[in-house]
């Protein structure tokens, strides 16, 4: 009788664990469907992508529409480096005027805006007082946060961007990404 009670208790505990896992996976899937990924979804890029180029004017929507100004690298400098590189939202390091900063970047077609070309649009996670068009920027892409997604609304896109920035800030505190700054010299 005692053994049967133990088996029942173990079975009930296992069933509870399965229910909790299912709820967690369901919640995670729901967040991801809305474009809200987490640090647990991050995957390191091997080898890291390094790009250098002049900061040029982009589409004019990063800072104005999205509250996320971008330092677009001249597409001539990027060349064909993006051809085989997967689309998505990534984080890494940016070097501007000799200073290294945390950054998050979109690489892809930006389906919400229906771009006709693949772009790299870094957002440096620092509050700058002005723009820096014409300056040289180097970035190293360390890890992927999420795939490129389309959104039903501007609000959903902005919410996902804010989430991406928060993940990047926290993830780059991880010491394993620190050595990748050296690729910017």
Residues labelled as active-site residues: 121
DSSP for 36-80 reads ---GGG-EEEEEEEEEEEEEE---S-TTTTTS----EEPHHHHTT
Distance CA 160, CA 135 (A): 29
Beta strands 72-73; 88-96: pairing state: unpaired
User: Closest by alpha carbon to 99, among 58, 66, 69, 132?
Assistant: 132
User: Closest by alpha carbon to 51, among 27, 75, 35, 15?
Assistant: 75
């Amino acid at each position: 009788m005692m053994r049967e009670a133990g088996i029942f208790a173990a079975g009930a505990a296992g069933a509870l664990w399965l229910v909790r896992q299912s709820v967690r996976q369901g919640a995670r899937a729901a967040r991801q469907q809305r474009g809200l990924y987490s640090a647990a979804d991050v995957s390191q890029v091997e080898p890291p992508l390094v790009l250098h180029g002049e900061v040029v004017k982009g589409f004019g929507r990063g800072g104005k529409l999205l509250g996320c100004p971008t330092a677009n690298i001249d597409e001539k400098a990027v060349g064909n480096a993006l051809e085989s590189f997967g689309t998505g939202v990534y984080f890494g390091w940016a070097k501007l005027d000799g200073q290294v900063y945390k950054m998050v970047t979109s690489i892809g077609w930006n389906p919400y805006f229906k771009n006709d070309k693949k772009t790299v649009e870094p957002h440096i996670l620092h509050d700058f007082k002005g723009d820096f068009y014409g300056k040289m920027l180097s970035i190293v892409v360390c890890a992927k946060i999420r795939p490129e997604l389309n959104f039903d609304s501007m609000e959903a896109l902005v919410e996902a961007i804010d989430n991406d920035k928060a993940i990047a800030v926290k993830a780059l505190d991880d010491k394993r990404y620190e050595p990748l700054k050296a690729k910017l010299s």
